[in-house]
Amino acid sequence: MSEVLIIGTYADMDAKALRADFGDLALPKLADLGSLPPERLSQVRAVACKSHEAFGPAQMDAMPALELIARYGVGYDAVDLPAAAARGIAVTNTPDVLTDDVADLAVAMWLGLLREVERGIASVRSGDWAKGGPPLARKASGRAVGILGLGRIGRATAERLAAFRCEVHYHSRSPKDTPAGWHYHATPLALAQAVDDLFVTTVGGAETENLITAAILAALGSDGHLINVARGSVVDEAALIAALEAGTIRGAALDVFRNEPNPDPRLTRLPQVLPLPHIGTATIETRAAMGALQRDNIRALLDGKPLLTPVPLG
């Protein structure tokens, strides 16, 4: 009987590798846990999880032998870490291997938003270019940019923006060791007041719920742009919709939303929004590396070896 439960819809390359390594005990959703008989769940030592569903005490208690929740991705805000710690359950994620892709996309979204790439494409495809084309866009190089959350992805994004001769500002829990000329701000509001464009690269979860408020958007200003590659929960979407409709900020580029994969159409239909379907890590190379790291963590547990990328539980 398999000691590993596979949860989520994986790409073929990952699904095949997981089944080859750990068997075919699999569910499309964590919510389907009750469809398995208790005797099967009692044998599960590790869960390979690719889901944003809440993984809390009830789910953990359904698997009394559970020792590891191996997350596919860098985020782990859906897992109740205190509950896991209380039960002696380890949690792993797949950091580092996805940093470049997410940072690359953040900068691409920023460029696409400021240079009105989506509108330009539509102009060519519709034939409107011959009628005069779209209006002038905004220059990207040299702007003051803010990084909300200077972790791995935030720092990689800032380094790329520095190559565009941008003035780099950031907020994190405490000042970081950064290149000369990077500016630390003690609060997100102070950061927004100092920059033209704000990149959201912080962690998700209750701690950062609605961190981007109406006040922060107002501080960003009418020529400001919001770029979010973190979690949809970090942004007060009602406040963002209001700010965009009122012209409080100029635009937003969003790879994440609150109600994925069914985001609020009031937000996604706005012409000053560049929406993407959470594709920050969606390259063949990075998804293969993420899957391999997830499997390596599970294999380490089953072999009695140290986990490669454990998440601190407190």
CATH of the domain at 149: 3.40.50.720
Same domain, 229 and 88: no
314: DSSP letter: -
Number of domains within the chain: 2
Say how far apart CA 284 and CA 308 lie, in whole Å: 22
User: Going along the chain, which residue ranges are E strands?
Assistant: 4-8, 26-27, 46-50, 68-71, 90-92, 144-148, 167-171, 183-184, 197-200, 225-228, 251-254, 273-275
Structural domain boundaries enclosing 264: 99-275
Same domain, 240 and 292: no
Say how far apart CA 307 and CA 301 lie, in whole Å: 6
307 domain-assigned:
no
Same domain, 131 and 258: yes
Determine the pLDDT at residue 1: 57
Provide the sign of the torsion angle of the four alpha carbons 255, 256, 261, 265, taken in this order.
Answer: negative
- Tell me which of 185, 231, 250, 295 is the catalytic residue: 231
SS3 212: strand
Active-site annotation holds for 260: yes
Which residues of the chain are modeled with pLDDT < 70?
A: 1
Same domain, 91 and 116: no
- Tell me which of 115, 258, 278, 299 is the catalytic residue: 278
Same domain, 35 and 159: no
- Tell me which of 207, 209, 260, 285 is the catalytic residue: 260
Cβ neighbours of 251 (radius 10 Å): 20
* Six-digit token string for 160: 């790329």
Q: Which amino acid is at 190?
A: A
Determine the pLDDT at residue 135: 87
As a residue count, the chain comes to 314
Same domain, 188 and 213: yes
Active-site annotation holds for 295: no
Active-site annotation holds for 231: yes
Q: Is the pTM of this model over 0.95?
A: no
pLDDT averaged over every residue in the chain:
96
Same domain, 144 and 47: no
Same domain, 40 and 89: yes
Same domain, 117 and 244: yes
Among 233, 255, 213, smallest CA distance to 112 is for: 255
13 domain-assigned:
yes
224 domain-assigned:
yes
Same domain, 156 and 243: yes
Determine the pLDDT at residue 302: 97
Same domain, 180 and 271: yes
34 domain-assigned:
yes
Among 70, 228, 253, smallest CA distance to 153 is for: 228
Say how far apart CA 106 and CA 54 lie, in whole Å: 26
310 domain-assigned:
no
Angle at 262 between CA 53 and CA 211, to 5 degrees: 70
Which residue is listed with tokens 């929406």? 275
311 domain-assigned:
no
227 domain-assigned:
yes
How distant, in Å, are the alpha carbons of 20, 40, 62, 189 from that of 37? 23, 6, 10, 50
For the chain, the C-alpha Rg in angstroms (whole number) is: 21
Q: At what angle do helices 117-126 and 99-114 cross, to 10 degrees?
A: 60
Task: Give the rounded distance of the alpha carbon of 130 from its chain centre.
Answer: 39
Same domain, 290 and 210: no
Cβ neighbours of 256 (radius 10 Å): 22
**Residues forming beta bridges with residue 27, ordered by sequence position:** 7
112 domain-assigned:
yes
Task: Give the rounded distance of the alpha carbon of 294 from its chain centre.
Answer: 17
Q: How many helices (H) and strands (E) does the chain have?
A: 12, 12
